[in-house]
C-alpha cells in the first residue's frame, strides 16, 4: 500500500515538474551572459573534438569543472544546437531534485503529505524554478549534494543499508566536485559531520564503508583534475583553484552583494511565493527541536549551517551559491504547512502568514504599476513597459483575486495550493510574449540581423555584457569595449578595450567595424568618432544598439 502511495505521488510530481521545468523551455533563446557562456564552452569543445578541456574563445577555460559541459554536449547530440537541448538536463535534474526532496521528506517526516507538500514548495519557489529552466552549474551541483545527503540520511536511519548509503554519499559528492569543485565534498561532509557530532554518533563514520567511499570518491574525481594539471600545469592550478576559489574568498566579484545580510535576505526573497510560510516555519522550529524525535530538523539545520558557513564569509557573493540549502528551506516550509493543515482549527501563525501572503501577491501588480509610471527606464532593462502593463499586472491581479476567493471559501485551507500556481502560470506567459521579451534576454535576434544584412569580415565590437552571446550566435571573433572598465573576473582571451586610445587603434586596424553596444558604450564611441571615424546606428533590438563604424579616408 505504501509503495503504491509513493508511486502515485512521484508520478504526480514528475508530471507537474515536467510542465513546470521542461515544457516550452526552448521557445526563448539562451540568455545573456551566463547561459551562452556554458553553451559556447560545450559548443567549442565539440568543435575542438575534446571531451576533457573546456574551451572558450578558442582557448582552454577553467572557470568550472567539466561535468556540466558533458551534459550540455550530450544534450546537443540528442536535440541539436538549440536552447531546448541546452536546457534539457537542467530541467531533468530539476525534476530529479523534486523527487529527491519527496523521499528525503518521507524519511525525515515519515508522512507522505508533508513530503509531497515540501516537494511542491521546492518545485514552485522562484530560485529553483528559475535555475531548472536555465543553464547554470548550480542546479546540477545542488542536486548532486541533495542526492548525497539523501543517501547519507537513508543509510543513517536504516543501518542495514549503511554500506550502500555511505558509498552513494561519496559517489554523488564526487559528481558535485566534478560539477563545481571541492566545495561539493566540503558541504556534504560538513553537513554529515556536524549532524553526527550533535547526535553524538560520530562512530557511524568509523567503518570500512567510509574508507571504501573515499576510495570511490577519489576514483570519480581525481582523473579529470590530474589530467588538467598534467596538460596545463600552473595555468590550471592558478585559474581554477586560486582565481575561481581562493580569490573569491577575499575579493568580491559583485561588490554590491558583499553585505552580511545578503544571504539571509536572499533566502527569504528567492523562495517566493513561500516567503512568509518559511518565516512561520522558522518561528515553529523551537517547538520541533524540543521533541524527542528531532533528528530530521537537526539534519536540515546542519545543511543550512554548512552552506552558510561555506559562503557567508567569502566576499564574492551570489544568490546561486547558497542554492544547496533551498531543499532544506522547502522541507521546513512544507512541514509547517502540512502540520497547520492537519489541525482541526488553523493556528494563528498559519492564518497570519496565509493572509499576509495573499496581500503580498495583490501588492505585486500595484508595485509594477508604480514602477511603470515612476521608473520606466529602470524596468525597461528587464521587460518592455507594454508587456508589464498588458500581461504581468493583470495576471498577478487575477491570481491574487482567485487566491483570495479560494481563501474565503475554504477558510484558508486550500489557498496554499493557489500559491503553487503563481510562478508557473506567470512563467508560461513568456512563450506568448517572447517576441517582446527575448531582445532583452538574448543576443540571437541581433546576431541574425547582422549576419543576414551585412558581410562581416572583422571582429565584432561588443559591450562586455553582450560579448559571449555575440560569439555564440555569430561564430565571429569579438572584442570587448568598456571605458573605463574592469576585465572579466575570469580570463577571456579577447581584446579588451578600456581606454580611448585602445578603441581608436582597434577601429583603425579594422577599417569597418560592426558593434553591439549598450547605450552608455554607444555614447562613449560617439564621443570618439570625430573626423576620423563615421558611426551609423543601424538598429536597436531590445537594449542592444547595433552600430557600424567606418574609418574615414584622409
Which tens digits make up the pLDDT trace of 182-232?
A: 999 999 999 999 999 999 999 998 889 999 999 999 999 999 999 999 999
pLDDT of residue 306: 97
Residue 554 pLDDT more than 60? Answer: no
Report CA torsion sign: 462, 442, 41, 142.
positive
Average pLDDT over residues 452-465: 94
Q: Helices 415-427 and 348-374 sit at what angle, rounded to 10 degrees?
A: 30
pLDDT of residue 430: 63
Residue 382 pLDDT more than 70? Answer: no
Q: Helices 83-109 and 67-79 sit at what angle, rounded to 10 degrees?
A: 120
Q: How far is CA 240 from CA 69, 230, 232, 495, in A?
A: 16, 14, 11, 22
Residue 391 pLDDT more than 80? Answer: no
| CA 212 to chain CA centroid, nearest Å | 33
Q: Which residues pair with 497 in a beta bridge?
A: 481
Which tens digits make up the pLDDT trace of 252-282?
A: 888 889 999 999 999 999 999 999 999 999 9
pTM of the model as a whole: 0.94
pLDDT interval class at 77 (50, 70, 90): very high
C-alpha–C-alpha distance, residues 483 and 486, integer Å: 9
C-alpha–C-alpha distance, residues 492 and 535, integer Å: 27
Quick one: cell of 153? 540520511
- Cβ–Cβ under 8 Å, residues 105 and 119: yes
Provide the total of helices (H) and of strands (E) in the chain, helices listed first: 26, 8
- Do the bridges between strand 512-517 and strand 460-463 make them parallel or antiparallel, or are there none, so unpaired? parallel
Report CA torsion sign: 447, 448, 450, 456.
positive
C-alpha–C-alpha distance, residues 429 and 423, integer Å: 10
Q: How far is CA 340 from CA 293, 347, 354, in A?
A: 19, 7, 11
DSSP state of 273: T
Give me the half-sphere count of Cα atoms (radius 13 Å) on the Cβ side of residue 296.
24
Residue 439 pLDDT more than 90? Answer: no
Average pLDDT over residues 277-299: 86
pLDDT interval class at 408 (50, 70, 90): confident
Residue 3 pLDDT more than 90? Answer: no
Residue 76 pLDDT more than 70? Answer: yes
- Residues with Cβ < 8 Å from 380, sequence gap 6 or more? 543
Residues of the chain above pLDDT 70, percent: 96
- Residues with Cβ < 8 Å from 427, sequence gap 6 or more? 20, 129, 133
First to last CA, the chain: 87
Residue 167 pLDDT more than 80? Answer: yes
Q: Which residues pair with 480 in a beta bridge?
A: 462, 496
pLDDT interval class at 419 (50, 70, 90): confident
Which tens digits make up the pLDDT trace of 340-372?
A: 998 888 888 999 999 999 999 889 888 888 888
Which tens digits make up the pLDDT trace of 466-496?
A: 999 999 999 999 999 998 888 888 888 999 9
Could you give the angle at the alpha carbon of 99 between the alpha carbons of 94 and 102, nearest 5°? 130
Q: Please state whether 484 falls in left (phi above 0), alpha (psi between -120 and 50) or beta.
A: beta
pLDDT of residue 429: 65
pLDDT interval class at 38 (50, 70, 90): very high
Which class for 49: exposed (0-12), middle (13-18), buried (19 or more C-beta within 10 A)?
exposed
pLDDT interval class at 148 (50, 70, 90): very high
pLDDT interval class at 21 (50, 70, 90): very high
| CA 96 to chain CA centroid, nearest Å | 16
C-alpha–C-alpha distance, residues 285 and 481, integer Å: 52
pLDDT of residue 368: 85
pLDDT of residue 514: 96
Amino acid at each position: 500500500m505504501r509503495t503504491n502511495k509513493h508511486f502515485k505521488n512521484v508520478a504526480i510530481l514528475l508530471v507537474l515538474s515536467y510542465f513546470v521545468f521542461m515544457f516550452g523551455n526552448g521557445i526563448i533563446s539562451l540568455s545573456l551572459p551566463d547561459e551562452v557562456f556554458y553553451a559556447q564552452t560545450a559548443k567549442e569543445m565539440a568543435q575542438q573534438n575534446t571531451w576533457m578541456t573546456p574551451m572558450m574563445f578558442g582557448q582552454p577555460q577553467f572557470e568550472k569543472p567539466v561535468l556540466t559541459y558533458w551534459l550540455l554536449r550530450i544534450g546537443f547530440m540528442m536535440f541539436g544546437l538549440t536552447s531546448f537541448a541546452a536546457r534539457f538536463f537542467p530541467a531533468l535534474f530539476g525534476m530529479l531534485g523534486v523527487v529527491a526532496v519527496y523521499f528525503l521528506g518521507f524519511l525525515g517526516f515519515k508522512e507522505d503529505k508533508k513530503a509531497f507538500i515540501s516537494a511542491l514548495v521546492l518545485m514552485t519557489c522562484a530560485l529553483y524554478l528559475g535555475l531548472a529552466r536555465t543553464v547554470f552549474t548550480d542546479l546540477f551541483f545542488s542536486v548532486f549534494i541533495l542526492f548525497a545527503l539523501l543517501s547519507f540520511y537513508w543509510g543513517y536511519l536504516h543501518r542495514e543499508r549503511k554500506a550502500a548509503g555511505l558509498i552513494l554519499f561519496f559517489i554523488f559528492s564526487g559528481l558535485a566536485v566534478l560539477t563545481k569543485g571541492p566545495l561539493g565534498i566540503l558541504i556534504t561532509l560538513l553537513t554529515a559531520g556536524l549532524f553526527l557530532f550533535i547526535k553524538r554518533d560520530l562512530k557511524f563514520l568509523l567503518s570500512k564503508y567510509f574508507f571504501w567511499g573515499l576510495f570511490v570518491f577519489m576514483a570519480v574525481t581525481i582523473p579529470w583534475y590530474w589530467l588538467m594539471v598534467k596538460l596545463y600545469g600552473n595555468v590550471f592550478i592558478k585559474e581554477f583553484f586560486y582565481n575561481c576559489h581562493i580569490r573569491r574568498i577575499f575579493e568580491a566579484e559583485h561588490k554590491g552583494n558583499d553585505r552580511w545580510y545578503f544571504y539571509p535576505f536572499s533566502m527569504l526573497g528567492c523562495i517566493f511565493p513561500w516567503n512568509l510560510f518559511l518565516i512561520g516555519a522558522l518561528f515553529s522550529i523551537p517547538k520541533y527541536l524540543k521533541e524527542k524525535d528531532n533528528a530530521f530538523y537537526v539534519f536540515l539545520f546542519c545543511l543550512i549551517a554548512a552552506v552558510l558557513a561555506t559562503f557567508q564569509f567569502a566576499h564574492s557573493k551570489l544568490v546561486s551559491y547558497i542554492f544547496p540549502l533551498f531543499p532544506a528551506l522547502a522541507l521546513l516550509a512544507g512541514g509547517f504547512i502540512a502540520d497547520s493543515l492537519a489541525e482541526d482549527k488553523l493556528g494563528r501563525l498559519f492564518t497570519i502568514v496565509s493572509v499576509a501572503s495573499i496581500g503580498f501577491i495583490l501588492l505585486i501588480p500595484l508595485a509594477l504599476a508604480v514602477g511603470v509610471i515612476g521608473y520606466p527606464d529602470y524596468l525597461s532593462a528587464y521587460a518592455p513597459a507594454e508587456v508589464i502593463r498588458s500581461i504581468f499586472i493583470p495576471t498577478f491581479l487575477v491570481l491574487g483575486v482567485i487566491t483570495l476567493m479560494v481563501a474565503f471559501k475554504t477558510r484558508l485551507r486550500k489557498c496554499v495550493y493557489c500559491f503553487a500556481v503563481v510562478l508557473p502560470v506567470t512563467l508560461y506567459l513568456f512563450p506568448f510574449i517572447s517576441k517582446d521579451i527575448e531582445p532583452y534576454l538574448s543576443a540571437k535576434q541581433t546576431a541574425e540581423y547582422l549576419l543576414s544584412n551585412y558581410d562581416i569580415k572583422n571582429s565584432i565590437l561588443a559591450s562586455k555584457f553582450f560579448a559571449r552571446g555575440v560569439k555564440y550566435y555569430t561564430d565571429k571573433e569579438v572584442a570587448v569595449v568598456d571605458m573605463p572598465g574592469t576585465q572579466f573576473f575570469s580570463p577571456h582571451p579577447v581584446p579588451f578595450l578600456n581606454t580611448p586610445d585602445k578603441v581608436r587603434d582597434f577601429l583603425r586596424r579594422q577599417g569597418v567595424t560592426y558593434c553591439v553596444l549598450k547605450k552608455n558604450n554607444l555614447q562613449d564611441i560617439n564621443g570618439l568618432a570625430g573626423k576620423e571615424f563615421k558611426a551609423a546606428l543601424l538598429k536597436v533590438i531590445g537594449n542592444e544598439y547595433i552600430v557600424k563604424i567606418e574609418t574615414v579616408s584622409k
